[in-house]
């Protein structure tokens, strides 16, 4: 199975590059993403086994199956390829997300509508990112003050670290488009979690906080150094992408 081409030089792929290139090559040889990921799995790391998708029984909840069997059913596509790479790079954070998902499924079953915690867990797992940055950048991001964030304070991004965690987000970025937006968990709100630190990120995934959805939208191609076009200040003059903070109505509603 040959995966679509991935530009491994892109900055958002830095945490996944070492495993990613090798796994993609192995998948092209062996014809199986699961087999390629399994071959890259460290022998003594808290990473589950990767198995073919047909190992997931019909009607069985995916997250519950992973929790019960410590195996990850994997399809031969880019989405599951990136999911596997995140497991390899951040196994403790992925395990924590899975434990919380499985716990919610055990308590409430699988319904047509997820509860607030499962919604937040899925959002972060699929589309999340973690930002570790100076407070002035955090404040500008929360305020959706894009000019301050990306133009006035542009040089401050040299002190920031941004981790793209969500595997669906990584899949989207394989074909970069300006509107691609992450749901960012700010490191100062993550109990000291620091981007690229697996153990501290896992500890920060607190269900009481996550179900309040403490995420802030961030159009990723606006990040300095992540896309050539954003070197011009006019790049950010696009209200369809860089949207202002919604105004509160009367009585704050």
154-199 pLDDT, tens digit each: 999 999 999 999 999 999 999 999 999 999 998 755 544 455 689 8
Whole-Å CA distances, 127 to 23, 27, 83:
22, 24, 11
Task: Decide: helix, strand or coil at residue 123.
Answer: helix
Under a CB-based contact definition with an 8 Å cutoff, are residues 215 and 122 in contact? no
Question: What percent of the chain lies above the pLDDT cut of 90?
Answer: 75
State yes or no: pLDDT of 250 exceeds 50.
no
Phi, psi of 152 (to 5 degrees): -65, -40
Domains in the chain: boundaries: 15-89, 123-241
Under a CB-based contact definition with an 8 Å cutoff, are residues 33 and 77 in contact? yes
Q: Quote the pLDDT of residue 191.
A: 47
User: Among residues 152, 150, 135, 169, which one has the least CA distance to residue 238?
Assistant: 150
Q: Quote the pLDDT of residue 126.
A: 98
Q: Which residues are within 8 A (CB) of 152 and not within 5 positions of it... i.e. 6 or more apart?
A: none
pTM of the model: 0.92
CA 36 – CA 238 distance, rounded (Å): 41
């Amino acid at each position: 199975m040959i995966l679509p081409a991935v530009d491994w030089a892109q900055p958002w792929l830095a945490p996944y590059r070492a495993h990613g290139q090798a796994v993609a090559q192995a998948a092209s040889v062996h014809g199986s993403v699961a087999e390629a990921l399994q071959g890259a799995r460290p022998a003594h790391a808290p990473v589950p086994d990767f198995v073919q998708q047909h190992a997931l029984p019909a009607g069985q909840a995916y997250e519950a199956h992973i929790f019960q069997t410590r195996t990850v059913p994997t399809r031969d596509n880019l989405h599951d390829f990136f999911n596997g790479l995140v497991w390899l790079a951040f196994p403790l954070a992925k395990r924590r997300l899975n434990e919380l998902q499985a716990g919610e499924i055990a308590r409430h079953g699988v319904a047509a509508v997820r509860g607030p915690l499962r919604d937040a867990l899925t959002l972060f797992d699929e589309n999340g990112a973690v930002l570790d940055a100076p407070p002035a950048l955090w404040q500008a991001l929360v305020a959706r003050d894009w000019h301050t964030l990306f133009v006035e304070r542009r040089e401050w991004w040299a002190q920031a670290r941004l981790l793209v965690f969500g595997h669906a987000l990584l899949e989207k970025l394989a074909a970069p488009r300006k509107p691609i937006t992450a749901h960012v968990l700010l490191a100062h709100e993550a109990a000291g979690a620091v981007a690229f630190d697996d153990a501290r990120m896992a500890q920060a995934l607190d269900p009481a906080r996550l179900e309040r959805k403490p995420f802030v939208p961030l159009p990723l191609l606006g990040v300095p150094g992540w896309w050539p076009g954003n070197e011009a200040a006019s790049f950010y003059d696009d209200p369809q992408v860089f949207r202002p903070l919604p105004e509160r109505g009367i009585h704050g509603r």
